[in-house]
C-alpha cells in the first residue's frame, strides 16, 4: 500500500478520500486553492500544498502543479476524487509518466469511455443493451436518415464529444433529420472541435438507474447493486436511493451481473458506475434498460451503495490501485435495507436554484434524529462546520445526508427527520426541496422519472 | 532518472482556427489537399476501368483489390511512392505509380511491406523507376525488419524502355540482390504468384521463403512467345511454367492454390506464424493515447505561404500522445526544438525548426530569425540525435528550414564544422529515422536534418513542401550576379539589355519554382510520398509501431539508462 497519497480535489470528496486513507494507514496530502487555504476541512490532511488562485483553472485543474506537488511530497499515488481532473485521461497519463499511480482506470479506457460512440460500441461488444441508433459517428445525411428510420422517431442527434445537453438536436421525422444533420455537424465542429455526430432513439420519461461495480487488476468484477437517480434537475442529480423501486430482485441480479461482466470485459479497473436509462413501462411490457455511459470514477452518490452493502468503496479503490486482489466475491455482497441520499447544495430552490455562497452562521446536524432501536441510521458526508465559509468558485455541494433503514418507508422517515433537524444559517440550502420530494406522493409511491422533480415546485 | 518527464504542450486553437483568418488558412491548405486526393485517385485507377475489367475477365483480382483482402479489416494502407513517374510520358503511355503499388499494410496484427505489381498498368510490367520503387520498399522493410509480401503479376520489363531499367546499378536485377539481402538478414518474405511472371517477374518471388501459386499463374525465364521464336516449339506459358511444373516438379514454388482469394488467405496465415509485434512490450505499461488536440488542426496551423510563421510546439502537440512532451535543452539554440514524446505509447524523438524570431546567444539581448540553422541549434540537434541513437529512440525530423546561417560571423563560428558534425552523426546513426518535409527543405538544412540523401527510412512531403538549394528569386540573383549592382539592380543603361536580363531572371525564377513542386520531387523519387498535414499523426503511428515491431533486432534501451537523461542533467540550471 502507498505510504502517502495526494488528493487532487477539495471539500467533501477530499475529506471522504482522506478518511479512507487513514483507515488504511495511508498519509493523505491535500492541495488547495488560495480560497480554500486554511479552511477547517484541510485539517484532515497531513499537509496541504497551495496550487494557485481561486479559479479552478488556476488551481485544481493545474495538472503539472499537482504532479509537482505529489512528487515534492513523496506521494506514490494521486486520487482525483470526482469532478475536476477525475475523468481526464491526459492527467492520468501524466501521473503514470511521472511514476505516480492514478487511482482509476487506464488513460486509454478513460479516453474511450469519455467519447460516447466508442463507449457505446465497447459496451455493446461487451454484451450490454444500448439505445437503438448509430454504431458510431454518422458519415452522411443519408446514413443518418436511414439509421433514424430504423431506430424509430423521435431521435436525438448528439455530438460525440459533447456533454451536459450541449450539441443535441431532437428530430421527429426524416425531413427534420435531413435538415438538422449538417447543422449538428457544423455546431459540433465549432463547439467541440470534432464534427462527429451520432444518433439515438429519444426516450422520454425514463428512469436513470446506475450500477456500482468494483473490478480489480486481475479481471475479477463484482457489483454492489443499483442506484436510482431519477430525481434530477437539468441532468444534475438531487437525490439517490438504493435499491431502485423500479426493479424486481431478478432484474436487479441480472442487470448487476451484466454490468460487472461488461466492466471486466472492457478492461475496467477500480470503482466505476455504469449508467442505464430505463424506458417507461407500457401496458404490454415492462421498461427496458439501455446503456448510457460509464463513469470512470467514484461518484457523489456512492454512500448509498456503501450503506446497503456495508462495503467501503473508497478504501477498495485504494487497495485495487495498489495492486491488491479484490477478495470479495459476488456472494459476499449482501444488500440489506434501503438507503436514500439527499444532496444539500448551497442554492436557493425558491430562486431558480441561484448559488448562495457565504459564511455559515450555523451548520448543525443531529445524526440521532432517526430515532433509536428501529434499525435506522443517518450518515453525514460534509467538510463544513459552523463558522466556515462556502466560497463562490466551486460546486455548491455542502453536504450529503444519507439515511439507511430496513424498509424504504423507514428510510424516507429517517431522512426527513434528519433534514428537519438540520440547522443551516447564512446560506440558502436545498433542504426544503429534499423534504418536499420525500413528502410527495410520486416519490413515496416509487413511481417517478427524470421528466420532473416529484413534489417540486410545491403546489401553491 | 527513470521517469521521462513529459509535460503538456500546446493549446486549444479551435477559436483561432475558426476565425476568418484561420478559416482562410485552412481553406488554402484544403484546396491543395483536394488536388492531392484527386491526383492520388487518378494513380489508384491505374489505366482505368477497361483494364480492370480485363483482369476480372481472367478470373483475377486487381492488385488493389488484393491489397484490400490481404490487410486487416478496419485498418488502412499507408502507401509510399504513389507519385513515382507522375506526369511522365513514355511515348504515348503513362505509368501510374510506375506500375507497382508499395504499401505498409497491417496483416494479422503485424506491419508488413507489400509490393504488388499493378496488373491494370501494362500487365504489371516494369517501367523505368519500377525497379527503384520496388527496391525502395525492400530497403524500408530491411531497415525495420518488416515481413515482405510480394503480390507478383508481372510480364517482365516494359521493353521499349529497357535501356532505362535494365543495366544500371539500381536496374531490375538489383531487386533480386535486395531479395537476397532480406533473406540473409532473416526478414520473412512471402510471395503470391498470380499471373504472368516472365523473366524478372519470374525471379522476383523465388527467393521468398514461401511461394504460393494460383491456377492462373506461371513463372518462366522466357515466355512462350520468345521460345516459339527461338526454338520453333509450340507451347503455352502456363504449360511450361504453371503450378503443375513449379509446385509439383521443379520445386520453385511451394503451394498450389485455386485462386486469388485463397492465395491471400494463405498468405495471411503465413504472417500469423511470424510472431506478434513487440510494440506492446516496448510501451512499458503505457497506453496509446490520442493527442489532446486534433491533427486535423495542422492544415490551419502551418501556413501555405512559406514566409508566414507558426509555433512549432503546436505542430508537436498534434503528433504526440496526450500532447505530452519532454523538451531537451530548452534554453539553448532556441531555433531548434528537440525532445521526446510517445506515439501510440512508444517513445519517439522529434526535431523541428522553430519559426519566427528567437534569442541570439551570440549577441546578448538581440534577436534573430529562426527557421535557419545556427551554431547552438546545430550542436543541440547533433547531441540529441546521437543520444537518441545511443538509446534506440527512433527520430522524426520535421523540416521547415531555409538553410544554414551564412556570412562573416557564420564562417568565423565554424558552421561548416558544426554542420559536418551533425551530418556525420546522422550518417552513422543506426536508429530508424523518418523525415517529414513540412514546408521548406532548403540548402544544407535539408541535408543536415536527415533529408533523403541521408537515407531516412521514409521521407514524407506535404502539398506545400519546397525542396531546393535556394528559392527561385535568390537563385536568379545569384545566376545573374555579374549583371547586377550592389543593390541587386540591373547594372546596365541599355534598355534592350535590361529587358533581356530581366526576362532571363524571371525565366530562371519560374523554372526553379516549378522544380520545387512536390509532385516533381515525388515523380523523381526525391521524396517517398506526399501526405496531407492532418495525416501526419497517423503516419507517426506507423513509424512508431514499425520501429518497435521486431524484437531483438536493434538496440532499445529502457528509459532508466537513457543517455538523454545525462544530456538533460548536464544542461539543467544549478539550483
**Is the pLDDT confidence value at B225 over 80?**
no
Whether B461 and B498 map to the same domain: the answer is no
B193 and B54 in one domain?
yes
> Of A221, A301, A289, A297, which is closest to residue A255 (Cα–Cα)?
A289
Q: A269 — contact with chain B (CB < 8 Å)? A: no
The answer to the question of residue B283 being in a domain is no
Nearest CB partner across the interface for A93, out of B5, B297, B321:
B321
Q: Which three cell numbers stand for residue B451?
A: 533529408
Q: Which pLDDT score is estimated for B492?
A: 82
Which residue is it, cell 479516453? A111
Distance CA B461, CA B440 (A): 10
- Chain B positions touching A76 (Cβ under 8 A) are none
**SS3 category, B506:** helix
- What the block records as the C-alpha cell of A120 is 457505446
Looking at residue B483, its pLDDT comes to 85
Determine the pLDDT at residue A162: 64
A99/B286 CB distance under 8 A: no
Chain pair A-B, CB pairs under 8 angstroms = 52
Beta bridge partners of B151: B116, B192
- Residue B369 has a pLDDT of 94
Q: Binning pLDDT at 50, 70 and 90, where does residue A163 land?
A: low
What CATH number does residue B378 fall under?
3.90.226.10
Measured in angstroms, the CA of A319 and the nearest CA of chain B are apart by 19
Q: Is residue B284 part of a domain?
A: no
Who has greater pLDDT, A201 or B43? B43
Convert the pLDDT of each residue in B504-560 to its tens digit.
Answer: 888 888 888 888 899 999 999 999 999 999 999 999 999 999 999 999 999 999 999
CA B45-B49-B51 angle, 5° bins: 95
Q: Are residues B27 and B63 in the same domain?
A: no
Same domain, B481 and B351: no
Looking at the structure, tell me whether residues B337 and B457 fall in a common domain: yes
Q: How confident is the model at residue B93 (pLDDT cuts 50, 70, 90)?
A: very high
Query: Could you state, in order of their start, the residue ranges of all structural domains in chain A?
Result: 4-103, 132-201, 207-445
Q: Note if the bond before A152 is cis, omega within 30 degrees.
A: no
Look at chain B and report how many structural domains it folds into.
Answer: 3
Worst-scoring range by mean pLDDT, A232-236, A241-245, A424-428? Answer: A232-236
- B230-279 pLDDT tens trace: 776 777 888 888 898 999 999 999 999 999 999 999 999 999 999 999 99
Number of CB atoms found within 10 A of residue A337's CB? 19
Half-sphere exposure of A348 (CA within 13 A, CB side): 12
Least confident window among A211-215, B215-219, B562-566, B569-573: B569-573
Beta strand pairing call for B458-461 and B433-442: parallel
Same domain, B201 and B67: yes
- Name, in order, each residue with C-beta under 8 angstroms of B455's C-beta and a sequence gap of 6 or more: none
Q: Are residues B195 and B334 in the same domain?
A: no
Domain A4-103 has CATH 3.40.50.20: yes
Q: Are A174 and A217 contacting, i.e. CB atoms less than 8 angstroms apart?
A: no
- A166 is annotated as an active-site residue: no
Question: Could you say which residues from 104 to 133 on chain A have a Cβ atom under 8 Å away from some Cβ of chain B?
Answer: 106-109, 111
Minimal CA separation from B36 to chain A, in Å: 22
Which of A71, A108, A162 to mutate: most B Cβ within 10 Å?
A108
Residue B9 lies in a domain: no
Residue B13 belongs to a domain:
no
Instruction: For chain B, give the percent of residues with pLDDT over 90.
Output: 77
A460 pLDDT tier (thresholds 50, 70, 90) = low
The DSSP code for B373 is: B
Average pLDDT of the segment spanning A429-458: 94
Whether residues B62 and B192 share a domain: the answer is: yes
Section B133-141 average pLDDT:
98
Q: How far apart are CA A53 and CA A39, in angstroms?
A: 15
Residues B222 and B354 in one domain: no
Given the candidates 3.90.1150.10, 3.40.50.720, 3.30.1490.20, 3.90.950.10, the CATH classification of the domain at A132-201 is 3.30.1490.20
Are B223 and B310 members of one domain?
Answer: no
Q: Which residues of A12-32 are buried (b: 16+ CB within 10 A; e: fewer)?
A: bbbbbbbebbeebebbbbbbb
What is the mean pLDDT of the segment spanning A422-433?
A: 96
Architecture of domain A207-445: 2-Layer Sandwich (3.30)
Q: Is the pLDDT of residue A394 over 90?
A: yes
Q: Is the confidence at residue B119, as pLDDT, over 90?
A: yes
Q: Is the pLDDT of residue B1 over 70?
A: no
What cell was used for B440?
Answer: 521548406
**Smallest CA–CA separation between A67 and chain B, in Å?**
10
Q: What is the ipTM of this complex?
A: 0.84
pLDDT score of B278:
97
- Residue B398 falls within a domain, yes or no? yes
pLDDT at B398 over 90: yes
Average pLDDT for B14-43 = 93
Mind listing the pLDDT tens digit for each residue in B60-69? 999 999 999 9
User: Is residue A184 predicted with pLDDT exceeding 90?
Assistant: no
pLDDT of residue A100: 97
Look-up: residue for cell 444519507? A402
3-state SS string over chain A? CCCEEEECCCHHHHHHHHHHHHHCCCEEEEEEECCCCCCHHHHHCCEEEEEECCCHHHCCCCHHHHHHHHHHCCCCEEECCCCCCCCCHHHHHHHHHCCCEECCCCHHHHHHHHCHHHHHHHHHHCCCCECCECCCCCCCHHHHHHHHHHHCCCEEEEECCCCCCCCEEEECCHHHHHHHHHHHHHHHHHHHCCCCEEEEECCCCCEEEEEEEEECCCCCEEEEEEEEEEEEECCEEEEEEECCCCCCHHHHHHHHHHHHHHHHHCCCCEEEEEEEEECCCCCCCCCCEEEEEEECCCCCCHHHHHHHHCCCHHHHHHHHHCCCCCCCCHHHCCCCCEEEEEEEECEEHHHCCEECCEECCEEECCCCCCCCCCCCEEEEECCCCCCCEECCCCCCEEEEEEEEECCHHHHHHHHHHHHHHCEEECCCCCHHHHHHHHHCHHHHHCCCCCCCCCCCCCCC
The lowest-confidence range among A17-31, A156-170, A193-207, B531-545 is A156-170
Q: Which residues of chain B have a Cβ shorter than 8 Å from any chain A Cβ? A: 2-8, 12, 14, 18, 285-290, 292-294, 297, 321-324
Structural domain range at position B191: 48-276
The better pLDDT of the pair B472, B25 is held by: B25
Alpha-carbon A188 to chain mean position: 25
What pLDDT score does B232 carry?
Answer: 67
Tell me, yes or no, whether B353 and B484 share the same domain.
no
pLDDT of residue B197: 87
B161/B309 same-domain check: no
Amino acid at each position: 500500500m502507498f505510504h502517502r497519497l495526494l488528493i487532487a480535489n477539495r471539500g467533501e470528496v477530499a475529506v471522504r478520500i482522506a478518511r479512507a486513507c487513514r483507515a488504511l494507514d495511508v498519509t493523505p496530502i491535500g492541495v488547495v486553492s488560495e480560497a480554500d487555504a486554511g479552511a477547517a476541512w484541510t485539517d484532515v490532511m497531513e499537509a496541504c500544498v497551495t496550487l494557485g488562485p481561486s479559479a479552478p483553472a488556476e488551481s485544481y485543474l493545474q495538472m503539472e502543479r499537482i504532479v509537482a506537488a505529489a512528487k515534492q511530497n513523496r506521494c506514490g499515488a494521486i486520487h482525483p476524487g470526482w469532478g475536476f481532473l477525475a475523468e481526464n485521461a491526459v492527467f492520468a497519463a501524466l501521473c503514470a509518466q511521472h511514476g505516480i499511480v492514478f487511482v482509476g482506470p487506464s488513460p486509454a479506457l478513460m479516453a474511450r469511455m469519455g467519447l460516447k460512440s466508442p463507449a457505446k460500441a465497447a459496451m455493446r461488444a461487451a454484451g450490454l443493451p444500448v439505445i437503438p441508433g448509430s454504431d458510431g459517428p454518422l458519415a452522411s445525411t443519408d446514413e443518418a436518415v436511414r439509421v433514424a428510420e430504423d431506430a424509430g422517431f423521435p431521435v436525438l442527434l448528439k455530438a460525440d464529444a459533447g456533454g451536459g445537453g450541449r450539441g443535441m438536436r431532437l428530430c421527429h421525422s426524416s425531413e427534420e433529420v435531413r435538415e438538422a444533420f449538417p447543422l449538428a455537424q457544423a455546431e459540433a465542429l465549432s463547439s467541440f472541435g470534432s464534427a462527429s455526430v451520432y444518433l439515438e432513439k429519444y426516450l422520454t420519461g425514463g428512469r436513470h438507474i446506475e450500477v456500482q461495480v468494483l473490478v480489480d487488476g486481475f479481471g475479477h468484477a463484482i457489483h454492489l447493486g443499483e442506484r436510482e437517480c431519477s430525481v434530477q434537475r437539468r441532468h444534475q442529480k438531487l437525490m439517490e436511493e438504493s435499491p431502485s423501486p423500479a426493479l424486481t430482485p431478478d432484474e436487479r441480479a441480472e442487470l448487476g451481473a451484466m454490468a460487472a461482466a461488461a466492466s471486466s470485459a472492457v478492461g475496467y479497473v477500480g470503482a466505476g458506475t455504469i449508467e442505464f436509462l430505463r424506458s417507461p413501462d407500457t401496458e404490454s411490457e415492462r421498461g427496458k434498460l439501455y446503456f448510457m455511459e460509464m463513469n470512470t470514477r467514484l461518484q457523489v452518490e456512492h454512500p448509498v451503495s456503501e450503506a446497503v452493502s456495508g462495503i467501503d468503496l473508497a478504501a477498495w479503490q485504494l487497495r485495487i490501485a495498489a495492486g491488491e486482489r479484490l477478495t470479495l466475491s459476488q456472494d459476499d455482497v449482501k444488500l440489506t435495507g434501503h438507503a436514500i441520499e439527499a444532496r444539500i447544495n448551497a442554492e436557493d430552490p425558491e430562486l431558480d436554484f441561484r448559488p448562495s455562497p457565504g459564511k455559515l452562521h450555523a451548520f448543525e446536524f443531529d445524526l440521532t434524529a432517526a430515532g433509536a432501536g428501529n434499525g435506522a441510521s443517518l450518515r453525514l458526508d460534509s467538510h463544513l462546520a459552523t463558522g466556515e465559509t462556502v466560497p463562490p468558485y466551486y460546486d455548491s455541494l455542502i453536504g450529503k445526508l444519507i439515511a439507511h433503514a430496513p424498509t424504504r418507508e423507514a428510510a424516507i422517515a429517517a431522512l426527513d427527520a434528519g433534514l428537519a433537524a438540520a440547522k443551516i444559517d447564512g446560506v440558502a440550502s436545498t433542504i426544503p426541496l429534499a423534504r418536499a420530494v420525500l413528502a410527495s406522493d410520486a416519490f413515496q409511491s416509487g413511481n417517478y422519472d427524470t421528466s420532473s422533480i416529484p413534489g417540486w415546485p410545491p403546489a401553491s | 532518472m527513470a521517469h521521462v518527464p513529459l509535460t503538456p504542450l500546446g493549446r486549444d486553437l479551435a477559436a483561432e482556427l475558426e476565425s476568418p483568418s484561420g478559416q482562410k488558412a485552412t481553406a488554402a491548405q484544403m484546396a491543395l489537399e483536394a488536388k492531392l486526393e484527386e491526383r492520388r485517385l487518378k494513380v489508384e485507377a491505374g489505366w482505368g476501368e477497361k483494364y480492370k475489367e480485363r483482369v476480372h475477365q481472367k478470373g483475377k483480382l486487381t492488385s488493389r483489390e488484393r491489397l484490400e483482402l490481404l490487410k486487416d479489416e478496419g485498418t488502412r494502407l499507408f502507401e509510399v511512392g504513389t507519385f513515382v513517374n507522375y506526369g511522365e510520358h513514355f511515348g504515348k503511355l503513362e505509368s501510374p505509380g510506375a506500375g507497382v503499388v508499395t504499401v505498409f499494410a497491417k496483416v494479422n496484427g503485424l506491419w508488413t511491406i507489400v509490393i504488388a505489381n499493378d496488373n491494370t498498368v501494362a500487365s504489371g510490367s516494369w517501367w523505368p523507376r519500377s525497379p527503384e520503387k520496388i527496391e525502395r520498399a525492400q530497403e524500408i522493410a530491411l531497415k525495420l525488419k518488416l515481413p515482405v509480401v510480394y503480390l507478383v503479376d508481372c510480364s517482365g520489363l516494359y521493353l521499349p524502355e529497357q535501356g532505362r531499367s535494365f543495366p544500371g546499378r539500381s536496374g531490375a536485377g538489383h531487386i533480386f540482390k535486395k531479395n537476397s539481402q532480406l533473406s540473409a538478414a532473416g526478414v520473412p518474405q512471402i510471395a503470391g504468384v498470380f499471373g504472368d511472371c516472365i523473366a524478372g517477374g519470374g525471379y522476383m518471388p523465388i527467393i521468398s521463403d514461401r511461394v504460393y501459386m494460383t491456377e492462373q499463374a506461371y513463372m518462366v525465364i522466357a515466355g512462350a512467345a520468345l521460345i516459339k521464336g527461338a526454338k520453333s516449339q509450340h507451347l503455352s506459358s502456363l504449360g511450361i511454367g504453371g503450378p503443375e511444373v513449379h509446385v509439383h516438379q521443379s520445386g520453385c514454388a511451394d503451394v498450389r492454390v485455386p485462386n486469388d482469394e485463397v492465395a491471400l488467405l494463405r498468405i495471411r496465415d503465413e504472417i500469423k506464424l511470424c510472431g506478434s509485434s513487440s510494440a506492446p512490450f516496448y510501451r512499458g505499461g503505457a497506453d496509446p493515447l490520442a493527442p489532446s488536440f486534433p491533427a486535423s488542426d495542422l492544415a490551419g496551423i502551418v501556413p501555405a505561404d512559406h514566409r508566414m510563421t507558426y509555433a512549432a510546439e503546436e505542430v508537436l502537440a498534434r503528433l504526440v500522445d496526450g500532447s505530452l512532451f519532454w523538451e531537451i535543452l530548452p534554453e539553448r539554440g532556441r531555433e531548434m526544438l528537440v525532445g521526446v514524446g510517445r506515439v501510440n505509447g512508444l517513445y519517439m524523438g522529434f526535431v523541428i525548426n522553430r519559426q519566427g524570431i528567437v534569442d541570439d546567444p551570440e549577441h546578448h539581448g538581440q534577436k534573430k530569425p529562426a527557421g535557419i540553422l545556427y551554431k547552438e541549434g546545430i550542436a543541440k540537434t547533433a547531441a540529441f540525435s546521437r543520444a537518441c541513437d545511443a538509446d534506440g529512440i527512433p527520430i522524426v525530423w520535421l523540416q521547415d528550414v531555409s538553410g544554414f546561417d551564412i556570412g562573416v560571423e557564420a564562417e568565423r563560428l565554424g558552421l561548416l564544422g558544426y554542420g559536418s558534425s551533425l551530418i556525420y552523426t546522422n550518417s552513422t546513426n543506426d536508429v530508424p529515422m523518418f523525415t517529414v518535409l513540412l514546408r521548406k527543405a532548403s540548402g544544407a538544412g535539408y541535408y543536415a536534418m536527415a533529408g533523403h540523401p541521408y537515407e531516412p527510412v521514409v521521407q514524407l512531403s506535404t502539398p506545400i513542401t519546397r525542396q531546393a538549394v535556394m528559392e527561385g528569386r535568390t537563385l536568379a540573383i545569384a545566376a545573374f550576379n555579374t549583371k547586377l549592382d550592389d543593390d541587386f539592380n540591373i547594372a546596365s543603361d541599355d534598355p534592350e539589355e535590361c529587358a533581356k536580363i530581366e526576362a532571363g531572371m524571371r525565366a530562371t525564377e519560374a523554372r526553379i519554382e516549378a522544380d520545387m513542386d512536390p509532385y516533381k520531387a515525388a515523380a523523381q523519387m526525391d521524396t517517398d510520398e506526399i501526405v496531407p498535414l492532418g495525416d501526419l499523426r497517423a503516419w507517426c503511428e506507423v513509424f512508431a509501431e514499425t520501429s518497435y515491431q521486431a524484437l531483438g533486432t536493434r538496440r532499445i534501451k529502457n528509459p532508466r539508462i537513457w543517455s538523454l537523461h545525462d544530456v538533460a542533467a548536464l544542461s539543467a540550471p544549478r539550483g
